[in-house]
Structure 1
Amino acid sequence: MIDPRLQTLRVLHEQGTVTATAQALHLTPSTVSQQLRQLSARLGLELLEPAGRRVRLTPAALALLGHADALFARWEEARADLAGYADGVAGRLRMTGVATAITGVLAPAAERLRREEPRLAVEIGEDPGENRFDLLLAGRADIAVVIPTPGGPPPGDARFTQLPVLQEPQDLLVPAGHRFGGRTAGGVTLAEAAEECWIRAGDPADQHQLLLAACAAAGFTPRVRHNAVDWSAIAALVAHGCGICLLPRLAPVPDGYRDRVVRVPLRGEPVPVRRFMAAVRRGSERRPPIARGLAALRAAAGERA
């Protein structure tokens, strides 16, 4: 009931290029260009202007986007109201999140939903390399469990509703025989590790930013010498004495390294934590499938607390 070409304009503003917009919406670049030309002709306004090899939105297009965000939020609210007349909860719920979010809350939430809402088909994806807010905007996900990072949508972004789900403590992962290895009961402060060599562990977009921020708050800059994303590779680097790293509480130590590395809790102030937020398209949180999904996530997080 809202001109779908407005959605194309919104995604173009987020992605920056026609090619990336086409990929996000599963369209061809020529279809994206045609839709935007049609929208421009319908409004009698220029919406795009050349900027080198790319295009940028005109002031008129940026003004239109503000109205489009409000329209889509109201449309989600209308769908939520209409869904209240349906008999029970049915349909499809698509959720996305990082691996530790799947382990900690998404998979348990899916199990709960299978028991409580058998007519609701739940799909979960890790979607590596994807911007999960883009997946929401393009309609390819309904709930995204995200870790707030600099440069991400702020809490007041008109396109999304963001709700707290879980705070995950961080531990130190050190090799067996390390000077911290015998302090698993009392823990160590992050400042005590200022002279250590560090591994950039996990997703650089969030986990590494957490390391930098936590170390800065503790009064030092970490000496980073190695990096890996997969936790098995990270555990191998630690086990072979290449450095230490932050390990999210929800991330398990890989089986092959449990006797070669030690998980040491952090204490004192500040203790680094990773915050998980559930993000949805603004207004959609009242739709029964999404509302049930959010409730299941909160219940799963409560069991972790």
Structure 2
Amino acid sequence: MFDLHRLRLLRELKHRGTLAAVAAALSYAPSSVSQQLSQLEAEVGVPLLEPVGRRVRLTAQAEILVAHTEAVLERLERAEADIAASLTDLTGTVRIASFQTAALALVPTALGLLRDQHPRLRVHITHMEPQKALPALQARDFDLVLAEEYPGNPNPRPAGLEQENLLDDPLHLALPPSVDAPDTDGPTAALRSLADHPWVMEPEGTAARHWAVALCRAAGFEPDVRFETTDLLLHQRLVEQKHAAAFLPDLVFSGRPPAVALRQLPRGQRTRRIVTVVRRGRSRHPAVLACREALRQAATPPPGQAPEGHGRPAPSSPSMP
């Protein structure tokens, strides 16, 4: 029988890419990780790693082992969830990664609900953008990730992750005070009026940037992106100070009236979807269920009250197999 600890090291190498990264993540010496993987190779009887320059990559046989290891770890997580569900008190630690606007608008309220309902549950929050947080979720650095999906830009659907819709967050064109774009001209005309104006957008490689640039190109121009940041509060401030135009979601206002003029976007481009993502084996753990429920309550206004600073709850339909 293969050693599970060594199999987990092989799996970590697949997700983290280098022996040094595995050692850093698990607080091991790199030489110890290398020695353990060499012992695993001896157990299996075939090479598991092959050199590629200064790095190593998994062989086909190693990939087979990792796939089986994923299944074993998923089953163990389900066992952990069953044990937790058999207890009357919810304890332990749950680790959540969230992007900025959800962390500001939803997480504090959710934390308050969890503190009142499950005082012995420890919740750790890390600010991290989805493109980094989702791979970290697969690597078991987090138990739950708050992520966003822009129109026409769904997140990758890795095997073993389950996604649940949380909120539909309206998106707007934010106009600097020096720009006049009457609503009567229509959404595309409002966009074109900013063709020669500086823009602030999220960095290249992000889903938000891909969506924003495609939207401008569809309106017939290439945006002059002078400012790049994932900080949407800075986006808002740059618009307020007449430095740039931007696309801003409702969540960035956190219930306060917008300080900038907003215009509607073209049809089909008016909302982003906020989702929670967990590993399949972790999805029924009571702590994860409690966190998802608290986030749903934070995203849902009381009956008869309009949402403050964020959009409407999204239909809940898991979309990752």
TM class, shorter-length: 0.7 to 0.9
Secondary structure of the residue aligned to 1:147 is strand
- 2:156 pairs, out of 154, 172, 189, with 154
Give the share of equivalent positions with the same residue, in percent.
Answer: 32
1:180-219 deviations in Å (ceiling 9; x for gaps): 3x65xx8951453132434242354232123124335556
Give the alignment's TM-score, normalised by structure 1: 0.83
Tell me the equivalent position of 1:42. Answer: 43
Per-residue deviation, 1:225: 3.3
Q: Is the contact between residue 168 and residue 275 of structure 1 (CA under 8 Å) also seen in structure 2?
A: yes
Tell me the equivalent position of 2:319. Answer: none
Secondary structure of the residue aligned to 1:250 is helix
Aligned residues: 297
Secondary structure of the residue aligned to 2:283 is helix
Per-residue deviation, 1:77: 1.5
Which shifted more, 196-205 or 81-90? 196-205
Secondary structure of the residue aligned to 2:93 is strand
**Structure-2 separation of matches of 1:165 and 1:232:** 22
Aligned amino acid, residue 169 of structure 1: P
Indicate how the Cα distance of structure 1 residues 296 and 247 shifts in structure 2: closer, same or farther if over 3 A, else same: same
The runs of 5 or more residues in structure 1 that have no matched partner are none
Alignment of structure 1 residues 16-35 onto 2, 5 Å: 16-35=17-36
1:212-271 deviations in Å (ceiling 9; x for gaps): 243355565433233234345434543454431111211139x9xx99x61404244132
Q: Is the contact between residue 147 and residue 277 of structure 1 (CA under 8 Å) also seen in structure 2?
A: yes
**Structure-2 separation of matches of 1:43 and 1:276:** 43
Secondary structure of the residue aligned to 2:115 is helix
**Structure-2 separation of matches of 1:26 and 1:203:** 31
Tell me the equivalent position of 1:189. Answer: 187
**Structure-2 separation of matches of 1:287 and 1:188:** 48
**Structure-2 separation of matches of 1:216 and 1:10:** 41
Alignment of structure 1 residues 123-272 onto 2, 5 Å: 123-127=124-128, 131-148=132-149, 154-155=156-157, 157-180=158-181, 183=183, 189-190=187-188, 192-194=190-192, 195-202=195-202, 204=204, 205-216=206-217, 218=219, 220-231=221-232, 233-252=234-253, 262-272=260-270
The runs of 5 or more residues in structure 2 that have no matched partner are 302-309, 313-321
Aligned amino acid, residue 264 of structure 1: L
Give the alignment's TM-score, normalised by structure 2: 0.80
Secondary structure of the residue aligned to 1:131 is helix
Per-residue deviation, 1:109: 1.3
